[in-house]
Amino acid sequence: MKSSRHKVLHPIAGRPMLFHLLASVGELDPERNVVVVGAGREQIEKAVAGAAISIAVQEQQLGTGHAVAQAKEALAGFYGDVLILYGDVPLVRPQTMAAMLDRLNQADEPRAVVLGFRPADAAAYGRILATGDGVIEKMVEYKDADATERAVTLCNSGLMAVRSAELFALLDEIGNDNAAGEYYLPDIVMLPGRASAVIEAEAWEVAGVNSRAELAGVEALWQDRRRFEVMRDGVTLIAPQTIFFSHDTVLGRDVVVEPNVVFGPGVTVAEGATIHGFSYIEGASIGSGAHIGPYARLRAGTRVGEKAKVGNFVEIKKTELGEGAKINHLSYVGDTAVGAGANVGAGTITCNYDGFFKYRTEIGAGAFIGSNSSLVAPVRIGDGAIVAAGSVVTREVASDALCLVRPAQEEKPGWAAQFRARMQARKAAS
């Protein structure tokens, strides 16, 4: 990855890869979670702090079998089934994990269940040779495979399910007599005794990440599936490939999303809202029937009420926008409560920061803020009040009052014509 960040902490849809995997595992309600880590241990420990996760350390990198063996102490006294997963393979579905465990507990009691897949290009993946009913006859790493074995299209994802009562005894039996001199986890499948089984997953589900390019590829896989899911559930995406979701984006039925919209973390959009093009939204909830954008930016802590409107080139932060309220053009509104039906004119700014602290602005229900106004917080504009265009408001405005803060207009008849004549004469002289 060429990064100071641990590989499994690089994000997919705004969530670290490792946490995508842990969230999926969590749906199976596991008794224990163990993360095996080599380099970068401190980053992983900090990332999972406070979670019910044990850390096992692989001091030397001696292969996948050796890595799994490091979990022995953390799994002491545990007698259930063990899923062996990879932090850089983040898209495995809970249903697939459950299917692996189901196969492990069928009547023939396979020693292990391996998750296989058939990629478009098998490349250098390890191969699985199996019978028609999924009983594994041989597993071999690509570098150790002959030409016939390399022609097999069923590949080993590395993911496996094994009974805890057998796992570590099996690991003790494998050796490292191979091209890399490593202890391969798949070698437990080929030890004498009971046969193991394979079930298959789609290739996208076991896509791994070892580079920035592969990270982008897995992001694209995740986004494509999420786009399909939201459209299946009743959302209209005008140009699906231009919409980007976060891992926790929630969209209600009949939401319409126009092209080139990005959802950051923490966004909920209620039924019937419209997100117009080129908008960026994070940490916000949007009420039913609301309209956002185009070219709007909604930042963390924003709550947009039903049928409210946030228009083009408007930025909102930590603001509650009441039902039917409007901020339609070229405004910054931060740390503000805007009452129902209020209208905030073009170019309005809430001056919420003095360089040290943030302050609140309150705009009452039905109030009208004229264009190019500055509301210097902390300040309150009463219900139904009108702030005249160009005003700089520093004190409370009473309900239904007119606030006019600007110098009186002065006019000098004929001055412009006299000015032009002087300037033209001066220019001619020079």
| Dihedral angle of Cα 331, 302, 295, 216, to the nearest 10 degrees | 140
Q: pLDDT over 90 for what percent of the chain?
A: 91
Last residue of a domain, one of 174, 189, 206: 206
Nearest one of 330, 326, 321 to 368, comparing CA atoms? 326
Q: Which residues contact 426 (CB under 8 A, 6 or more apart)?
A: none
CA distance 304 to 286: 5
Query: Which among 256, 303, 305 has a CA at the least distance from the CA of 281?
Result: 303
Mind listing the pLDDT tens digit for each residue in 211-247?
999 999 999 999 999 999 999 999 999 999 999 999 9
What's the length of the chain?
430
361 part of a folded domain: yes
pLDDT in tens, 198-213: 999 999 999 999 999 9
Same domain (yes/no): 243, 330: yes
User: Which pLDDT score, from 0 to 100, does residue 186 have?
Assistant: 87
The CA-based dihedral angle spanning residues 346, 278, 358, 383, taken in that order and rounded to the nearest 10 degrees: 40
* Number of domains the chain is built from: 2
In this predicted model, what pLDDT tens digit does every residue of 294-327 receive, in sequence order?
A: 999 999 999 999 999 999 999 999 999 999 999 9
pTM exceeds 0.95, yes or no: no
Does residue 178 carry a pLDDT above 80? no
Q: Given a cut of 90, is residue 266 above it in pLDDT? A: yes
402-403 and 374-376: which strand pairing? unpaired
CATH of the domain at 147: 3.90.550.10
Query: Which H or E element spans position 136?
Result: strand 136-140
As annotated, the active-site residues are: 329
Range of the domain at 316: 212-403
Sign, CA torsion 10/12/15/21: negative
Tell me the backbone φ, ψ of residue 214, rounded to 5 degrees: -70, -35
Q: What is the pLDDT of residue 179?
A: 75
290: which 2 tokens? 């609301």
In a domain, 359, yes or no: yes
Looking at the fold, whether 272 and 140 belong to one and the same domain comes out as no
Location of structure tokens 């409107």: 309
Instruction: Answer whether 229's CB lies under 8 Å from 145's CB.
Output: no
Q: How many CA atoms lie within 13 A of 166 on its CB side?
A: 16
Rounded Cα distance, 385 and 369, in Å: 8
Q: How much is the mean pLDDT over the chain?
A: 96
Q: Can you give the pLDDT at residue 419?
A: 96
Q: How confident is the model at residue 6 (pLDDT cuts 50, 70, 90)?
A: very high
Q: Helix, strand or coil for residue 89?
A: coil
Q: Is 138 in the same domain as 263?
A: no
